[in-house]
Copies of this chain bind each other. A is one copy, B any other.
Amino acid sequence: MSFFDIFKKKKSKDVAKDRLMMMLAYERANTKIENLDEMKKDLINVVKKYLNVKDVHIKSNSNQDIETLEVEIILNK
């Protein structure tokens, strides 16, 4: 099962309406991202360029060796 297969099994109720979820995941030990904050801002700016963004929520998490960055982008109707 690939890293993302689990997503495909999730029901649509888990993705709220008018919302775009963006996620980054990488192994902390082997992937050092310098200027992560800058990259994060740039990625969100790209989404803002294409979509009518109302609000953005960012959550960082570490689980064992994996670092994840979850970005919830709430869109205007």
Q: Which residues of A contact B (CB under 8 A)?
A: 2-4, 6-12, 14-27, 30-31, 33-36, 38-39, 42-43, 46-47, 49-51, 59, 61, 63-66, 68, 70, 75
Contact = CB atoms under 8 A, between A and B. Distances in A.
A21 B25 contact: yes
A22 B19 contact: no
Chain A contact residues: helix, strand, loop or mixed: mixed
A6 to B, nearest CB: 5
A34 B36 CA distance: 27
Contact of A6 (B6, B19, B64): B6
B31 A18 contact: yes
Question: Lowest 5 CB-CB distances: which A-B pairs, in order?
Answer: A12-B65, A8-B63, A39-B50, A17-B30, A42-B46
